[in-house]
Structure 1
Amino acid sequence: MKAITVEPKQPGTARLEDILEPDPRDGSVLVEAIAVGVCGTDTEIVEGKYGWAPPGKKRLVLGHESLGRVLDPGASSSLKIGDLVVGIVRRPDGVPCPNCAIGEWDMCTNGQYTERGIKEIDGFMSERWRIEPEYAMKVDRSLGILGVLLEPTTVVTKALEQVVAVGQRAFWEPRTVLVTGAGPIGLLAALIAMQHGKEVHVLDRVDAGPKPELVRALGATYHTGRVADLGFEPDVIIECTGVGQVVQDAIRGISAGGVVCLTGVGAGGSTAGPAVADVAAAVVLKNNVIVGSVNANKRHWYKAGQVLARADRAWLAKLISRREKPEDFANALKRTPADIKVIIQFAEA
């Protein structure tokens, strides 16, 4: 069968190649790939920045944003042939740490977790893949190919859960939510905040194209410029860019008692000298909280499925801006200004 693979930490080694059929030891559920979402993680692995092949192998099958159709449910009593499923990405470490031991593997404390398509387990960019029944999440059939959005939805589902948990340290009734960055993660964060009845604002650098239209279609407000220019202090900021200046502006611009949740992963842009102390002082004096959030556990996957099931299908469809065939995977890794979510499509949903 065909799969898109890479030799981790070796730039320029990604290719579409023939590999063996998935080993039954990798999971009793056999799945036909329908689509795989492409994100910055995939691009960075292809660029050689990180990634780990399975033990004993040199190459890694890419892809962690999956959607597939069950060909053989194996030992699963809850799945049947034809069901649409998405594969959970992370696996608990083998020690395990206390969090992994209770299923909170997204909060792993020793770093020995593994992840499909990223860290020591092959991903989903293959014509067929296997998965353990407990890590296969059934998708609402009416979503069709839109089920490929489940994994990115889990990221912000967890982020909003973290915000609520932190906010409950005191009396807190947040009304306004600002999302910085109108990529797929940011737009899905805005969707969830709208479903929770909040006044939602989205800040991004582009002033035309599909992003402003998608935000307005949700009933949220779109902004360009800087956080300081908004004219109000949000109660919650979900930061989805990872850009140093935007992160600093978010911390400075949050309301008293507010929560800033960082979901974007960036690099560089260090701030030196008294500016760091100034930002810290602002946090202290306003009783703010800054929390980082990454990955998701099974509870968040379940909640994310509910988010997508409630969402307007026509709006979700506009998040998928481009579909590429497996043989054109290199094009999928090249972002254009009009892109939101690019997918590699293996089959029809």
Structure 2
Amino acid sequence: MSVRALSVVPGKPETAQVGDHPDPPESDGSVLVDGLLIGICGTDVEILREGYGWAPPGEERLVIGHESLGRVAAAPPDSGFSPGDLVAGIVRRPDPVPCVPCSLGAWDFCRNGRYTERGIKERHGYAANQWRIEPEFAVRLDPTLGDLGVLLEPTSVVAKAWDQAEKVAARSPAPRHVALVTGAGPIGLLAALLGVQRAYQVHVFDQVTTGPKPDLVADLGATYHTGDIAGIGVQPDVVIECTGHGPLVFALTDVVATDGVICLTGISASKRQAAMRPDEVNKEMVLDNLALVGSVNASRAHYEAAAAALAAADRSWLARLITRRVPLERFDQALERQDGDVKVVLELAH
């Protein structure tokens, strides 16, 4: 028996292909899942086009896919799951030592770097028509979400970012009312959704002036901005930065309110160098009590918060985020950005 999966030899992007792989071993987990969809993001493009990623020890190929959605096919009675449950898989696994954060379930704060990640680092991912998972790393979704459940992993990223930003913001007694999200890709739009759910006055900054993004922001009740960040006209208490564009990150120190928090979620692949003004930025951050904090991945608590946020969201708005569906066998088409793309997903079922 075998499953159909999308895999690559890390370091050899020309080897990316859909092919037969052995059935997922029981060591992957006791819950058997029929794969439905995976979302494609920049990390997947890096793996498939640039050779990023690490295969499991002793293996040559890596099955990709970390933005998962599937339906339980079989599960032990004591697992907490039943056949038919809609689920997504958590990406990161704690290191084998483990370090203190990993031992406490906060593997997103792993200190020794020996964590593994499904579809990225030393563990096969979810881009297969069937996969297994440990019950403690599976997240049940509201069944009414249907295919929209594929948005869970990116939503978990911003659920953690908001959690971190608000924890840091709590150092000041000043109330927080205004939020700025930079970038209107899937992460940015989901960050805006969670900001609106938190009753912030949300502003979104992006360079795109046409396509679905401005309307998606407006339909949240948020405000869309383009042009020069310096002329945005608001002083946000909290910034969720989703572009990874270095010059923008430092420009934000001129925009954010006193005592403000800038939470970074994006990483840029650009190798361009830009002039910086480190002394001025340092002065601004000290005198204005600014906080700049990075946020990566997510713990189970953030996945559960993301599942609750999606369950509470307007389904028709979420559906507009998924702009293209591509059959697994034509995965190359999903890697080519098209006008109007927000989230592109691969269909795993035959």
TM-score range, shorter chain: over 0.9
CA distance in 1, matches of 2:261, 2:278: 18
CA distance in 2, matches of 1:43, 1:163: 28
Percent of residue pairs identical: 52
Q: Residue in 2 aligned with 1:277?
A: 279
Matched, 1:337 2:334: no
Q: Residue in 2 aligned with 1:137?
A: 139
Matched, 1:113 2:115: yes
The amino acid of 1:225's aligned partner reads G
Displacement of 1:246: 1.4
Q: Residue in 1 aligned with 2:312?
A: 310
Q: Residue in 2 aligned with 1:41?
A: 43
Q: Residue in 2 aligned with 1:16?
A: 18
- Deviation by residue 1:156-214 (Cα, 9 ceiling, x = unmatched): 00000001110111213111100000000000000000001010000000111100000
CA distance in 1, matches of 2:313, 2:17: 36
Bigger shift: 23-32 or 150-159?
A: 23-32
Bigger shift: 128-137 or 328-337?
A: 328-337
- Deviation by residue 1:56-111 (Cα, 9 ceiling, x = unmatched): 00100010000001111135431111111100100000111110010000011111
Q: Residue in 1 aligned with 2:27?
A: 25
CA distance in 1, matches of 2:75, 2:273: 50
The amino acid of 1:322's aligned partner reads R
Q: Residue in 2 aligned with 1:238?
A: 240
Displacement of 1:144: 0.1
Summarize the alignment of residues 1-349 of structure 1 with structure 2, pairs less than 5 Å apart: 1-74=3-76, 76-266=78-268, 267-272=270-275, 275-347=277-349
CA distance in 2, matches of 1:76, 1:68: 20
Partner of 1:218: helix, strand, or coil? coil
Bigger shift: 210-219 or 236-245?
A: 236-245
Residues 63 and 124 in structure 1, CA contact (< 8 A), matched pair in contact too? yes
Displacement of 1:244: 1.8
The amino acid of 2:73's aligned partner reads L
CA distance in 1, matches of 2:27, 2:106: 24
Partner of 2:24: helix, strand, or coil? coil
Partner of 1:14: helix, strand, or coil? strand
The amino acid of 1:36's aligned partner reads I
Displacement of 1:123: 0.2
CA distance in 2, matches of 1:218, 1:300: 22
Structure 1 residues 296 and 38, CA, compared in 2 at 3 Å: closer, same or farther? same
Partner of 1:5: helix, strand, or coil? strand
Residues 242 and 265 in structure 2, CA contact (< 8 A), matched pair in contact too? yes
For normalisation by structure 1, the TM-score amounts to 0.97
**RMSD (Å), alpha carbons:** 1.2
